[in-house]
């Protein structure tokens, strides 16, 4: 339905003028320099901030920021905190560096894109959607993480929001779903998706959603801004679980959402303020520290993942490998356009079926192996897991199989241990399976 967002034409103008980019990723040195950052604040482990006087307090409640800090970031930590503000700025620069430069050149008075950090990736996703969808609206959803999937069903069952699940790796399915559902307000996708690492054509989908005034929301968790910057491809909102690559050490849970400033001030910030999905100052400080070497970590992890995927593809105990960096991957060409490289997550199917999967998992459950049997990803530690019995156990079996999540599929998140160590361990585990 056109006309639902009065700010849409201005956002589209900014998107076309500043956000779209033929260069799909930022220069790596620039990326690392932003990550390293300067001015990391001390930890403001505080719930409240003292005002100078009544006029100062009143001005801050009106959103004024006398020293140029983020509005509301020096009142009460549920509304904002200097440590969270710092992390928001770094994430904003990583996703939007090219937009900032162009907007500054054009003398734009208002920031085009807002950045908010949350207590978890799920908090970021749920707040973005809770803020603006209403009964009768439709959301078209691709293959998504289990809790995102169940939250969509909650919106449907509890609030009468229509949820249409499709295979968004097929752009024509997005087009058909929107045509059949004129009340579509958002398309929500992950690319690559979890766990079969198939890609959505973000630019192709954006060409469909943009003229229809439909928000294209991209969960960029599997890539982080290091591998993919969805605003350059036409996304309207980008969400992250910072728990993964941004933290990179499995020491905290956090999330982020970035999107049109007008959209955030009208719909997202009010629920952020009232629902209270705020991260702790310490977690924001920790993530501001760990993000400093994210590019370096990821470069190493992705190079190792590419070599391991090639190694697994030749292994006699392995039936099929899903890794966007392999030529055999169905979306390899798209991956090479959208992503810096194939990423640090590999999925593979074993010849020996479910029992072989259990045996391999139990091998890595031992403490003398260089991986952990655990379900997260993006850490310096390699994690191996079995989607059918773990992360995707809640997905109905028929849906699971249709998405290629067979009983013998294994997902591996590659850490920094290095190729020879991991290949040797995988070979040992596979011999037993």
Ligand X SMILES: Cc1ncc(COP(=O)(O)O)c(C=O)c1O
**Residues found near ligand X in the complex (CB under 6 A):** 120-122, 145, 147, 190, 194, 219, 221-222, 241, 243, 253, 255
Residue 174 has which token pair? Answer: 């997005």
CA-nearest of 160, 31, 146, 147 to 399 is 146
- Shortest gap between Cβ of 34 and ligand X (angstroms)? 22
Q: Smallest Cα–Cα separation from 225: which of 206, 205, 210, 242? A: 242
Structure-token pair, residue 376: 């997260």
Q: Give 22's DSSP letter.
A: S
Q: Are 282 and 45 spatial neighbours (Cβ–Cβ below 8 Å)?
A: yes
Contact present, 385 and 369 (Cβ < 8 Å): no
- In whole angstroms, the minimum distance from the beta carbon of 190 to ligand X comes to 5
Q: Which residue number, 244 or 329, has a Cβ lying nearer to ligand X?
A: 244
C-beta closer to ligand X: residue 75 or 375: 375
DSSP tally for the chain: helices H, then strands E? 17, 12
In the complex with ligand X, which residue's Cβ is closer, 302 or 356? 302
Of the two residues 210 and 250, which places its CB atom closer to ligand X in the complex? Answer: 250
Closest distance to ligand X from the beta carbon of 254 (Å) = 6
What residue number has its CB nearest to ligand X? Answer: 121
User: Which is closer to ligand X, CB of 184 or CB of 194?
Assistant: 194
The alpha carbons of the chain give a radius of gyration, in whole angstroms, of 22
Judged by CB, which is closer to ligand X: 112, or 391?
391
Nearest approach, Cβ of residue 8 and ligand X (Å): 26
The vertex-202 CA angle with 94 and 248, nearest 5°, equals 40
CB of 119 to ligand X, least distance (A): 8
The answer to whether 392 touches 195, Cβ cutoff 8 Å, is yes
Helix (H) or strand (E) holding 255: strand 255-260
- Tell the smallest beta-carbon distance from residue 194 to ligand X (Å): 5
CB of 319 to ligand X, least distance (A): 24
Taking the least distance from each CB to ligand X, the nearer of 36 and 374 is 374
Nearer to ligand X, 60 or 400 (CB): 400
Closest distance of CB 196 from ligand X, Å: 13
Q: Is 259 helix (H, G, I), strand (E, B) or coil?
A: strand
User: Residue 131 belongs to what H/E stretch?
Assistant: helix 121-132
CA 137/CA 132 separation, integer angstroms: 10
Q: What are phi and psi of 54, to 5 degrees?
A: -60, -40
Tokens standing for 169? 């790796």
Given its phi and psi angles, is residue 179 left (phi above 0), alpha (psi -120 to 50 degrees) or beta?
alpha
Pairing relation of β-strands 371-373 and 345-350? unpaired
Cβ–Cβ < 8 Å for 139, 117: no
Nearer to ligand X, 190 or 349 (CB): 190
CB of 10 to ligand X, least distance (A): 29
Region for 69 from its dihedrals, namely left if φ exceeds 0, alpha if ψ lies in -120 to 50, beta otherwise = beta
> Strand, helix or coil at 115?
strand
Q: How many residues does the chain have?
A: 433
What is the smallest separation between the CB atom of 313 and ligand X, expressed in angstroms? 24
Q: Whose Cβ is closer to ligand X: residue 59's or residue 147's?
A: 147
């Amino acid at each position: 339905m056109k006309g639902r967002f009065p700010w849409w034409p201005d956002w589209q103008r900014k998107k076309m003028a500043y956000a779209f980019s033929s260069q799909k990723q930022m220069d790596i040195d620039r990326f690392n320099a932003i990550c390293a950052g300067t001015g990391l604040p001390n930890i403001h482990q505080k719930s409240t901030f003292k005002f100078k006087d009544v006029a100062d307090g009143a001005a801050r409640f009106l959103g004024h920021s006398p020293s140029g800090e983020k509005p509301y970031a020096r009142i009460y930590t549920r509304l904002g905190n200097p440590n969270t503000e710092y992390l928001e700025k770094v994430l904003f620069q990583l996703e939007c560096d090219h937009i900032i430069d162009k907007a500054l050149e054009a003398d734009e008075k208002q920031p085009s894109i807002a950045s908010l950090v949350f207590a978890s990736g799920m908090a970021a996703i749920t707040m973005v959607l809770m803020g603006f969808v209403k009964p009768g609206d439709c959301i078209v959803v691709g293959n998504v993480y289990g809790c995102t999937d169940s939250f969509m069903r909650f919106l449907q069952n509890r609030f009468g929001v229509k949820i249409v699940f499709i295979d968004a790796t097929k752009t024509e399915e997005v087009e058909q779903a929107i045509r059949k559902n004129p009340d579509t307000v958002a398309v929500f996708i992950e690319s690559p998706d979890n766990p079969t690492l198939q890609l959505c054509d973000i630019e192709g989908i954006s060409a469909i959603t943009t003229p229809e005034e439909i928000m294209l929301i991209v969960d960029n968790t599997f890539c982080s801004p290091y591998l993919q910057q969805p605003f350059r491809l036409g996304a309207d909102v980008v969400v992250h679980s910072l728990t993964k690559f941004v933290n990179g050490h499995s020491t905290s849970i956090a999330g982020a959402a970035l999107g049109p400033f007008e959209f955030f001030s009208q719909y997202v910030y009010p629920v952020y303020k009232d629902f209270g999905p705020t991260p702790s100052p310490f977690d924001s400080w920790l993530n501001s520290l760990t993000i400093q070497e994210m590019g370096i970590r990821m470069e190493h992890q992705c190079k190792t993942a590419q070599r391991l995927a090639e190694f697994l593809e030749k292994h006699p105990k392995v039936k099929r490998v899903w890794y966007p960096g392999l030529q055999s991957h169905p979306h390899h060409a798209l991956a090479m356009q959208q992503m810096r490289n194939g990423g640090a997550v590999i999925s593979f199917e074993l010849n020996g079926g479910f029992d072989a999967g259990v045996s391999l998992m139990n091998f890595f459950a031992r403490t003398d192996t260089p991986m952990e049997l655990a379900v997260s990803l993006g850490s310096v530690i390699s994690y191996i897991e079995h989607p059918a019995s773990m992360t995707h156990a809640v997905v109905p079996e028929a849906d699971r199989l249709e998405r290629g999540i067979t009983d013998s599929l294994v997902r591996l998140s590659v850490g920094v241990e290095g190729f020879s160590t991991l290949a040797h361990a995988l070979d040992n585990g596979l011999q037993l399976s």
